[in-house]
Chain A
Amino acid sequence: MLKLIFRRVALTLPTFVALMFVTFVAVRMVPGDPIEARTGERGIAPERLAALRHDLGLDQPVWKQFLDYAYGLLHGDFGVSIVTKTPVLHEFLILFPATLELALCALVFAIVLGIPAGVLAAVKRGSVLDHSVMTVALAGYSMPIFWWGLLLIMFVSEYLGLTPVSGRMDLINYYFEPVTGFMLIDSLLSGQEGAFGAAVAHLILPSIVLGTIPLAVIARMTRSSMLEVLGEDYVRTARAKGLSPLRVVGLHALRNALIPVVTVVGLQTGTLLAGAVLTETIFAWPGVGKWLIESISRRDYPALQGGIMLISAIVILVNLIVDMLYVAINPRIRHG
């Protein structure tokens, strides 16, 4: 078991090194000079240009730049944003709670709806309910979520006037200092009446949009995993013993059926972070996804490099944890 964990961790190390190399090379190849992108049409004095290039390390040979970059990464230095002049890690950490809050809410939405839907579809296999769940799931994982977001804004926000169109908070009516960076918690801590409600209202549509694909995936996975388990001998035994159907499904079958579902939920990290780019763009949500897109148009090399590096590191780590969790909850692997 320990050996297994150790090998799995060791295998991710080369991935990290390769990731460093890939982000470095790719970002270096982005056309356009970061200084030109900032000075625009006005032009710049040659000596000032040289000084700026020196400050940014752009006058160094490329291999030296890479070694500096790798050395910095290992010391928690992800570079300094060319545009805002703040450390990339710092900027990322300020924005990341917004993305995390959105992603967690989306995941909760997907799990809370997806698992019961999958279980019901499996138990009532072949029924109208089963077909409806599977049809909705098919539409869900085929969904262009940026369009889905626009539709929801059009209908729920504009037509029904139920939710705000964009952002995380109603900034005209409420103001409070960020404490945790999570709007739901900060709004409660602020003690201002209505602030929490406003935070929730802002979260609803983005969470639905971002949670749609994971919801479909989780529902399908739960259904098929449940169907498999329901055909097992021990479920038949439990039924034969005269246990209530609820007990058989809910206690005996579900526990085993959920093992593969845990893996699938974990693998949604990548989907959620990729989806966050689109969702945040549509809802003007100030998170890392929107920041990344803006970094490209500003030619902010370090921000882009550091941002992609950090996001990918999160995905790698979460996948690693999911692998371990899978081993931990699945006795067949643990003892096998």
Chain B
Amino acid sequence: MAEENAIDDPIPAGPERLVLSDSGLSLSAVTVAQAEPVGEEPSPLRAFWSAFSENRGAVLGLAIVVFIALLAVFAPWVAPHSPTEQFRQSVLLPPVWAGGNWSFPFGTDAVGRDVLSRLIYGARISLGIGLSVMVVSVAVGIVLGLAAAFLRGAVEVVVMRIMDVVVAIPSLVLAILVVAVLGPSLVNTIVAVTVVYLPRYVRLVRAAAIAELSKEYVVAAQVAGVGKLRLMFVTVLPNCLAPLIVQAALGISDAILEAAALGFLGLGAQPPTPEWGAMLADAREFIRSAPWIVTLPGLAILVTVVAINLMGDGLRDALDPKLRRS
């Protein structure tokens, strides 16, 4: 059965995810926990937070993610201008630190739009894409993964082979194909990226569910006469959640990167939507004359993705001790 495992690796499409983590810190968490007097168990949430907060990087990541999320939610109140308003008298204005003025702190782009405002509104789009992709692919992944694990037979073969095909096509190429079929737009970006990242959730859920199915509590539930659907979603699913949550968190950052790449190729959100990737594409011709409109959107993508990844690594260390390495 070795090759079976090799193909349906529980953590597919990103072996790097297995590894990450800086666990000198989390090791001390274990020692502290053991040293505490036995008696009252801390609540699961508290235990989780104490494990999570041991990892300083994860807390920093969480803080940045919360900050960006707040900016996104309150964009209309925070942003100094409208993201699409064109100030024709101040085109390609440099940012404050390069001799610009405070009415446009990060400067303006080629048609006089405020870069800072576009970045803030862009957070809405990128986080929105990341979250939508995550929610949809987790939901579909759970249904398909559980169906494959419980029904086995033809259903499993069909689902898993389709996932194999999806994995075989390089992510961006597949996303491009999907967008080419559906036409470029924000919604289709979400569809395309969801298709690309679906297999990792399906494989993860299926592998975890199959592992759980052989355990005695499942047999006990079956003997007790629990219905199939209840068995799938109420008995087994909660026990597969930890790795799924970790994968979902890290999946948000991958989705943001992929969507930005589509935007950059002109296949994502269409103008004048202030999408970070599309902003970079517009800025390409100003590499020489206006470096800030090239630098800032990319920096926004990088900071957001790094923060989510830091948070995801911390989540993994806290939730899923099995995956913790070194």
Interface residues of A (CB under 8 A from B): 4, 7-8, 11, 14-15, 18-19, 22-23, 26-27, 29-31, 125-126, 131, 134, 138-139, 141-144, 146-148, 150-151, 153-154, 158, 216-217, 220-221, 223-225, 227-228, 260, 263-264, 267, 270-271, 273-275, 277-278, 281, 292-293, 296, 304, 308, 311-312, 315-316, 319, 323, 326, 333, 336
Contact = CB atoms under 8 A, between A and B. Distances in A.
A144 B261 contact: yes
A177 B22 CA distance: 52
Contacts, number: 171
Contact of B2 (A18, A225, A273, A333): A333
Residue among B169, B176, B287, B295 facing the most chain A CB atoms (10 A cut-off): B169
Interface of B: 2-3, 6-7, 15-16, 18-22, 24, 161-162, 164-165, 167-173, 176-178, 180-181, 183, 253, 257, 260-261, 264-265, 267, 277, 280, 283-284, 287-288, 291, 294-295, 297-298, 301-302, 305-306, 309-310, 325-326
25 contacts: A27-B181, A30-B180, A30-B181, A125-B24, A131-B22, A138-B310, A144-B257, A146-B261, A147-B280, A147-B297, A147-B301, A150-B284, A151-B295, A151-B298, A221-B15, A224-B18, A228-B325, A260-B15, A273-B170, A277-B176, A277-B265, A278-B265, A292-B173, A308-B173, A326-B6
Contact of A11 (B7, B16, B176, B287): B7
A311 B261 contact: no
B173 A277 contact: yes
Contacts of A274: 170-173
B306 A139 contact: yes
B2 A4 contact: yes
Given A31-B183, A144-B260, A217-B16, 11 more contacts: A15-B164, A125-B24, A139-B302, A142-B306, A224-B18, A224-B21, A273-B170, A275-B172, A278-B261, A296-B267, A311-B169
A150 B170 contact: no
Q: Which 6 A-B pairs have the closest CB atoms?
A: A147-B298, A274-B170, A274-B172, A224-B19, A142-B305, A227-B326
Contacts of B287: 150, 153-154, 158
Given A14-B161, A18-B161, A221 B173 contact: no
Given A142-B253, A274-B172, A4 B265 contact: no
Contacts of A144: 257, 260-261, 264, 277, 280, 298, 301-302, 305
Contacts of A263: 15
A125 to B, nearest CB: 7
A150 B280 contact: yes
Contacts of A227: 325-326
A264 B177 contact: no
Contacts of A148: 298
